[in-house]
Amino acid sequence: MDRERMLDMDRRLQPLRRQCFGALAIALVACGPWLGWWTLAPLVAAAVLFGLTDRVVGSMRRPEYAMFAAWAGSEAIIAVSVALSGGPTVPTMSWLAIPVVTLAARFSDRGIAAGVAIAMGLLVAVSFGVHGDVVVEQPPLLIAPAALLVVVTMFSVALMRSDVEHRSRAVLDPLTGMLNRLALESRADELAEQSAVSGEPVGLILVDVDRFKQVNDSHGHSVGDSVLRQTAYAIRRQLRAFDLAYRVGGEEFLLLLPGADLAEGIELARQLCQSVERQAVDGVKVTVSCGVAASPRGEAFDFAATFASADRALYASKASGRNCVTPQLDPGDGRPAAGESDGASSGARRTRTAVPSVPS
């Protein structure tokens, strides 16, 4: 969820960041006769740095590292510019607070603390490294921008936490803590754009709790809720750091696997089935059925088509006795998609878990 929020906020900040670069460029041009025209060069370098980061961040397994590196790089570029133009004796010293505004919008508490420490360290280094004697004589030259950094951080953190709380209510399923359909829409669009550039496949797994209605009818809705929560927990334990899980129906979950082909999706789904089957919720034996599909490598991710393939495969799993994994089928004839391994005797190749399906 933290990674999803970070990526979402970064998408929202991209157009604003370009506007800010434009505003700073205008200010530097206006100050050119006093500060020098060379100050535009660091601004261009920062813009290029963020542009490169925006291109690669979507295909990275740990995008937060690239984004934080870009943030730290922009802060360092500003510090160098301030140092070369006069350090604590020039008004641009306060510009070190500009990147700090975006910390809370994208990073966790650890990232915020690290960012503030970097900004404060650069502030002190520029102050004493350029005109330390002036700072000693006039401490407000350092105290004022340092206080600005702290105050900006405090306000941005408070505002962002309020925003996160309200947005979480809109995109999180309150029972399982998983993302919901609203969050799925924006992520699917983003993966389509990323795969069009990278050519990497995107795997999709549909998971359905077997005989869930019988659980509710026989044991009550409170036990049914426990089954859904425990199943969601079992799903999250099997995911990689950059995979995402969504609750898309009453007892149905959807997993998005960036960079995973069909074989990887099948293996993950098999592990998931086994993980769920090993646990009992309030004495109730629980199993799941899975349908797996993946977009072709080298093509843009088509969510609707991939979802439809996984949905057909899930239906085949339910029809085959449940508690099994079925890969995507060719539409129309019910046979495994082209390129699948042999062994489909009933129209769908199945990877069964060790223990047969047990009614709840």
* Residue positions annotated with a catalytic role: 251
Query: CA dihedral defined by 301, 306, 308, 314, rounded to 10 degrees?
Result: -160
Cα(328)–Cα(313) distance, integer angstroms: 5
Return phi, psi of residue 57, to 5°.
-65, -30
Q: For the residues of 142-181, what is the DSSP string, one character each? A: HHHHHHHHHHHHHHHHHHHHHHHHHHHHHHB-TTT--B-H
Q: Report the 10 Å Cβ neighbour count for 45.
A: 15
Residue 298 tokens read as 């080298």
Q: Per residue in 133-153, is it b (16+ CB within 10 Å) or e — as a string?
A: ebbeeeeebbeebbebbeebb
Residues with Cβ within 8 Å of 40's Cβ and at least 6 positions away in sequence, in order, are 25, 28, 29, 32
Candidates 11, 37, 34; CA nearest to 25 is 37
SS3 351: strand
Cα(210)–Cα(227) distance, integer angstroms: 11
Measure the CA angle with vertex 148, ends 156 and 86; round to 5°.
Answer: 130
By residue count, the chain amounts to 360
Residue that has been written with the tokens 């700090």 in this structure: 100
Looking at the DSSP bridge assignments, the partners of residue 326 are 291
